[in-house]
Every structure is written in structure tokens, then in C-alpha cells.
Amino acid sequence: MIDIKKEIKKFKNVSSSQDDVFFQAMEEVLLSIAPLFRTDDIYEKNAIIKRLVTPDRIIKFKITWLDDNNKMHVNTGFRVQFNNALGPYKGGLRFHPSVNEGILKFLAFEQVFKNALTGLPIGGAKGGSDFDPKGKSDFEIMKFCSAFMTELHKYIGPRIDIPAGDIGVGGREIGYLFGEYKKITSSFEGVLTGKPFMFGGSLMRTEATGYGVIYFTKTMLEMENKESLKGKICTVSGAGNVAIHAIEKLLELGAIPVTCTDSQGTIYDKKGIDLELLKELKLKKRLSLKEYIKKHPKASYIPISEYPKDGHAVWFIKAYAAFPCATQNELSITDAKKLIENGCICVSEGANMPSTSKAVDLFIENKICFGPAKAANAGGVAVSEFEMSQNASMQKWSFEKVDEKLKITMQEICKRVALTARDYGVPGNYVDGANIAGFKRVADAMIAEGI
């Protein structure tokens, strides 16, 4: 019988330093699915582990573009097409200076299981570039997106691979990418999701990930017989697409989200975050969160230079529930200890893998209601799939219809994960539940398709 721990060690020995995050994601999945290998040899016979942790292909390309002063720049672009057993490759694009092959491999790997959990016919992929959108003019963003698509268009298509947004890529970037794809191919088709509404975007795609996290959490709290979020203090990290819409839904449900963060600092506003101001600062003007206290002098701004050692200021604030919605590994073991010490009963991940492995283990040990990213933040990609359906059938669904379908999808994911955890003897462990449920869908499809 296969020894999962030995398999993990083998992969660790051959992985490069860039692969740290990929290894972290892979190890968690492999440890969760170990029990499946004890009762049945079908996965071992079909070499499923090796096949599942190896991406179908990694595409890497050069992007040359001109800034507003006609200075030439070169960046690297990637698309990791990980697995298409369940449907065409699907997943976002990230534009951030930290992007490298290892980060995109981890994100694409996670996407495979996340997309499987939605129950929708989509495989997993991720892409992006080390391009830094900060401080760039609209024209520079447009020129970069055009240059990026000049290469990427060769590898994507509405039945092949459908990219969307992620960090640094929102409606503006998807619009420019779509425009360039159309120009090169002369084809108006649903090759990207998260498009502006006027040319095929779905209503609610912008809100979907953040709203979805809160719908998932609401169901999880009900299933675990915990008090609802109404009237409760919540902490949220991030100040981008996911964080803003998680805060919006929390406010709608009567919760009190008191924080948001960006890469430079944390805002703590005891009265509850001023959502309109946050949207104006981050979505319209793309300014630093520091500006928030100009209008709300009683709120505090904590710069990163004042963060606790090995920790993040946002997780040191007392809260009933915490929602990490910025980036990977932003919640350390020190943060997890502090959250638990301060009486936090729920952590739900809007970002991809925001909690370190040790933090996750501590949450599980302490029976915290923990919603892992691949389940809790699947609402974004689910609505992306709704956008693909609308494009394919030339329809436009109402906001209410998409919202209702999103709600049902998040409830179903939550229930599927909870029931799987119960069936495999780990009730309340949504990490194992999500990994096992996602794995079974993908692995069974791979076996049915042959090699």
C-alpha cells in the first residue's frame, strides 16, 4: 500500500525553492486524502497522486511593452494549465511583482479542487505576470494587457481555457485583454470571465467572491450550531475586490466589520468600516488606506512597521469571526494563537491559502469553524462559470437570478464538505472534507477518461 508521507517527502526532495507554496498546498491535500488509499487500491493503480500533482503544462512567455515615456520594459507571463478532467481549464490571472512559476502552480493546483467542489464542469488553471500595476497610467495598463494577450491568445479559447481576474486584475484589465483577443482573432466569444457587463460580463461577478465567502460562512455557522454573524464584530484583511465585497455583505447581514488592510497597513474603525469611502479610495482612486483616517480621525491606521513580531496587526484585534481576504500566508501561527485567545470562533478564507499550515492545524485542534479557501471562496469562479453559460446561450441573467444561484451553490458546497468530513470520521474538519470531496470528483473523472 502506498505510503503518503513517503510520497510527500519524494516531492519535497525534487521541488525548487519557488515551489514552497505549491508544496504547502499539495501536502495538505495529500494528508487529507490518505484514508482513501487505505480502503481501495484504485487510485494507487492509476498513479493518481503523481498524475494529480503534475500540471498538464506550464506556458511561459516574454512580454515587451512601452511605458508613457516610450521606455521599453520586459516582463514574464505564465499560464499554468493544471488539469482539465472536469471541463476546460479555468482560473484567474494575477499581476503582481511577486508572481513566479511556483506561486501560479500552487494557485492552479488549488483551483483544480475548488472548481471540482462547485460541481460545475470546469478544470483548473492560473496565470499572470510579475508586472506591477501600481502607479501605472490607464494607457500603460492597456498597453501591457495588449502585449500580454498577444502571447496568451495562442493558448486559450472558450472551450480550451478561460482566464479571469485575481490580484491586480479586475474589470478594467479584463476589458483590455478581451479587446485585444477580439482584435487578434476577429472572434467575439466568451474567452474571459469578469468582463464588463456591456460586452458579455455577468452581473454580480464583481461581488461574487466576497458575497460567496459570507454565504458559505453563514451556512457553516448554522451547520455547526453557532450564533449567526448578526451584531458580531468581524475582522477582514485586504482592501481589494474580495475584501470589499465581503465587508459589503457583512454589513448587509448586520455584522460589524471593523478592519481592512492593504500592503502598507491596517485600518481599525470600531464603528464599522465606511464602505463608500473604502470603495472610493481603493476602487476609484487607487490610493493608500492611510487616507481613510482623514475622514475618520477616530479610526486608527497601523502601518506595517508597527505590526507585532511574526504577526499581523489585523489578527490581534478581538473578533467573533475573521476573514483573511488579501493574499497567501498572511495569517501566521502567532496570529492564529492570538485570534483563539481573543475568543474568535470562526475563520473563513476569502484569499487563496491565507493561513499557514501551522495556523490551520491550530484552528482544527481548537475546533474553530474553519472555512478553507478552496471551499469558502469558490463563489467567484462559480459565477465565472455562470458567465460562460450566459455567453454560450447569448443570455443575460438578472442580478437576482445570479445572486440566488450563487447562494445555493455556496450552501451546497458547504453541505457537501461538511457531510464528506462526517462520512470520513472527521466531523467539523472542513479542510479534510473539502480536500476529499474535491479529490474524489477529479480523480474519478481522470480514471474514467483513461490515460
Range 334-363, binding ligand 2IT (CB under 6 A): 352
Closest to 85 in 3D by CA, of 56, 108, 106: 56
Task: Mark the segment that binds ligand NDP (CB under 6 A) among 139-147, 236-244, 314-322, 442-450.
Answer: 236-244
| Burial of residue 134, with CB atoms counted within 10 A of its CB: 0-12 exposed, 13-18 middle, 19 or more buried | exposed
Q: Which residues of 391-430 are buried (b: 16+ CB within 10 A; e: fewer)?
A: beeeeebeeebbbebbbebbbebbebbbebbeebebebbb
Task: Mark the segment that binds ligand NDP (CB under 6 A) among 49-57, 58-66, 177-185, 322-330.
Answer: 322-330
**Number of alpha carbons in the 13 Å side-chain half-sphere of residue 6:** 3
Query: E strand or H helix at 175, and its extent?
Result: helix 171-185
Does 287 engage in binding with ligand NDP (CB under 6 A)? no
How many C-beta atoms lie closer than 10 Å to residue 71's C-beta? 8
Query: Residue 222 and residue 253: Cα distance in Å, rounded?
Result: 14
Does 381 engage in binding with ligand 2IT (CB under 6 A)? yes
**Residue from the set 91, 168, 201, 354 that interacts with ligand 2IT by CB under 6 A:** 91
CB of 337 to ligand 2IT, least distance (A): 28
Check if 126 is active-site: yes
Q: Read out DSSP for 232-276? A: -EEEE---SHHHHHHHHHHHHTT-EE-EEE-SSEEEE-TT---HH
**Residue from the set 83, 266, 334, 377 that interacts with ligand NDP by CB under 6 A:** 377
Does 380 engage in binding with ligand NDP (CB under 6 A)? yes
CB 368 within 8 A of CB 359: no
CB of 128 to ligand 2IT, least distance (A): 10
Does 92 engage in binding with ligand 2IT (CB under 6 A)? yes
Residues 254-273, mask of contacts with ligand NDP (x by CB under 6 A): --------xxx---------
Query: E strand or H helix at 382, and its extent?
Result: helix 379-392
Given 90, 105, 114, 126, the catalytic residue: 126
Query: Is 77 or 380 the residue whose CB approaches ligand 2IT more closely?
Result: 380
Task: Mark the segment that binds ligand 2IT (CB under 6 A) among 4-12, 88-96, 284-292, 410-418.
Answer: 88-96
Query: Residue 35 and residue 21: Cα distance in Å, rounded?
Result: 24
By a kind-dependent CB cut-off of 5 to 8 A, residue 193 interacts, out of ligand 2IT, ligand NDP, none, with ligand 2IT
CA distances in angstroms from 161 to 90, 154, 190, 199, listed in the order given: 6, 10, 10, 19
Task: Mark the segment that binds ligand NDP (CB under 6 A) among 32-40, 54-62, 115-123, 162-170.
Answer: 162-170
Task: Mark the segment that binds ligand NDP (CB under 6 A) among 7-15, 82-90, 135-143, 325-333.
Answer: 325-333
φ, ψ dihedrals at 76, nearest 5°? -110, 135
By a kind-dependent CB cut-off of 5 to 8 A, residue 257 interacts, out of ligand 2IT, ligand NDP, none, with none
Residues 111-140, mask of contacts with ligand 2IT (x by CB under 6 A): x--x--------------------------
CA dihedral 136, 139, 144, 150 (to 10 degrees): 170
Query: Residue 272 and residue 312: Cα distance in Å, rounded?
Result: 19
**Residue from the set 240, 257, 372, 433 that interacts with ligand NDP by CB under 6 A:** 240
Range 136-195, binding ligand 2IT (CB under 6 A): 164, 166, 193
What are the residue numbers of the active site?
A: 126
